[in-house]
Amino acid sequence: MSIFSNRPKVTPVPSPVAAPGTGSTAADAALPVEKSDAEWRQELTPEEYRVLRQAGTERPYTGEYWDSHTAGVYQCRACGAELFTSSEKFDSHCGWPSFWAPLADGTVRYIHDRTVGMDRVEVRCASCDSHLGHVFEGEGYGTPTDQRFCINSVSLKLVSTDDAAK
Give tens-digit pLDDT for 41-89.
Answer: 999 999 999 999 999 999 999 999 999 999 999 999 999 999 999 999 9
**Average pLDDT over every residue of 108-114:** 93
Measured CA to CA in angstroms, residue 164 lies from 71, 99, 151, 154, 159 at distances of 10, 21, 22, 20, 6
Strand extents, DSSP E, the chain: 72-76, 82-85, 89-90, 98-99, 108-113, 120-125, 131-137, 147-151, 156-160
Residue 88 dihedral angles phi and psi, to the nearest 5°: -100, 0
Mean pLDDT of the chain: 83
94 given a catalytic annotation: no
Single out the catalytic residue among 76, 79, 125, 150.
Answer: 150
Q: Give the DSSP H or E segment for 166.
A: none
Is residue 109's pLDDT more than 80? yes
Where residue 6 falls (left for φ over 0; alpha for ψ -120 to 50; beta otherwise) is: left
- Greatest Cα-to-Cα distance within the chain, rounded to the nearest angstrom: 46
